Amino acid sequence: MLRRFRLEEPESVKEASELLARHGEAARIYAGGTELLLAMKEGLVQYERLINVKKIPGLDQVKLENSTIRIGALPTHTNLEEDPVLKQKLPAFVQMEHNVANVRVRAVGTLGGNLCFAEPHADPGTVLMVLGAKLVAEKASAKREIPAEQFFVDAYETCLEADELLTDIRIPAMPERAGAAYLKFGYLERPSVGVGLFIDWDQGDTIADARIAVGCAGPRPKRVAEAEELLKRKSTKEAASALARAGEVAARAADAIGDLHGSAEYKEHIVGVLLKRAFQQISQQRSSKSQR
Ligand SMILES: Cc1cc2nc3c(=O)[nH]c(=O)nc-3n(C[C@H](O)[C@H](O)[C@H](O)COP(=O)(O)OP(=O)(O)OC[C@H]3O[C@@H](n4cnc5c(N)ncnc54)[C@H](O)[C@@H]3O)c2cc1C
């Protein structure tokens, strides 16, 4: 049963932040409510006030501004999987959104709520890391940009300050020659393991940049610089043979935890499998692009 709470309806980020500052631990931001209301119904958390941010103008938009895609915190997963700008510019992100949860959760749950709840078995954090995203946090008096890899501190814990809101996610447009993929595996409702990969080639066949992130297996999604280094400055063929080692490094970095979603060893194995498949997917897309 839900206990009684008061619903606040601020009309600006400043007003929402001031409410957070004034009521402290007794108040919480409320977006789609798919995580928050469930946790409150189960008595895991209790808040006297929920601050509904859905009436704040401008937080529900997706825009291409110069070479950056700006996504507000409030679009639902359904909004994002159907968005024409994202479909054209960030197909790997759209694919990830299409596979989040189920149709009912996607219709109500927001991207901002997913990121701020920092549930370990979640997809967007991992893919945002390889896309080079920055998360914008705002409070009454200040605004800052946080690289996606610094946002998650632990399971259910982000680096947001008590009176900060997540307002925007900023993603640089993909370079012409680059490719990205996010693959996940799971047999329960939420994923057991997720792997993101971004590869950018120079004008020839050398990998100029590589980003690898792992999520769901451990308490928080992580970028794995050591595994990325194994692919950088390699030809496509050389990188393909370095993948097994990169997968081992990424699996170790995932801090996999044995739970209902699988043993730690099993999750580590899946990290390697998904990394290889993500590389194959990006390479195949690159070959088909060059044949057009
Ligand atoms: C059955 C089920 C299956 C799921 N499966 C998946 C899955 O496969 N993959 C996946 O990635 N996710 C999955 N999810 C998670 C789902 O994506 C999230 O529930 C949803 O996106 C949360 O968004 P919301 O708007 O409902 O958040 P809310 O429940 O409204 O909020 C969640 C938390 O974030 C805080 N918050 C919300 N917005 C902001 C903001 N702008 N600034 C600061 N704090 C904020 C709230 O205070 C609260 O603590 C699943 C969820 C369910 C219930």
Name the class of domain 179-287: alpha beta
Q: Residue 105: what pLDDT?
A: 97
109 Cα–ligand 1 center, Å: 6
170 Cα–ligand 1 center, Å: 19
Residues carrying CATH 3.30.390.50, the chain? 179-287
Q: Residue 291: what pLDDT?
A: 81
Helix (H) or strand (E) holding 281: helix 264-291
User: Could you tell me how far CA 126 lies from the centroid of its own chain?
Assistant: 5
Look at phi and psi of residue 198 and say left if phi exceeds 0, alpha if psi is from -120 to 50, else beta.
Answer: beta
In the predicted model, what is the mean pLDDT of the chain? 96
pTM: 0.97
**169 in helix, strand or coil?**
strand
Sheet-wide strand order for 6-8: 6-8, 49-52, 27-30
Terminal alpha carbon distance of the chain: 58
188 Cα–ligand 1 center, Å: 17
Q: Residue 31: what pLDDT?
A: 98
pLDDT tens-digit readout, 190-249:
999 999 999 999 999 999 999 999 999 999 999 999 999 999 999 999 999 999 999 999
Residue nearest to atom 31 of ligand 1 (CA): 113
Residues carrying CATH 3.30.43.10, the chain? 6-52
Regarding the beta carbon of 105 and ligand 1, being less than 6 Å apart is answered: yes
- Give yes or no for residue 1 having a pLDDT over 90: no
Percent of the chain with pLDDT over 70: 100
Q: Residue 290: what pLDDT?
A: 81
Which CATH code fits 62-172? 3.30.465.10
Residue nearest to atom 15 of ligand 1 (CA): 114
pLDDT band of 182, cuts 50, 70, 90: very high
pLDDT tens-digit readout, 267-282:
999 999 999 999 999 9
- Give yes or no for residue 26 having a pLDDT over 90: yes
Question: What is the topology classification, in CATH, of domain 6-52?
Answer: 3.30.43
Residue nearest to atom 32 of ligand 1 (CA): 113
Q: Mean pLDDT across the stretch 49-61?
A: 97
Residue nearest to atom 11 of ligand 1 (CA): 122
Regarding the beta carbon of 33 and ligand 1, being less than 6 Å apart is answered: yes
- Give yes or no for residue 264 having a pLDDT over 80: yes
Regarding the beta carbon of 114 and ligand 1, being less than 6 Å apart is answered: yes
Residues carrying CATH 3.30.465.10, the chain? 62-172
- Give yes or no for residue 292 having a pLDDT over 80: no
272 Cα–ligand 1 center, Å: 28
Q: Mean pLDDT across the stretch 176-188?
A: 95
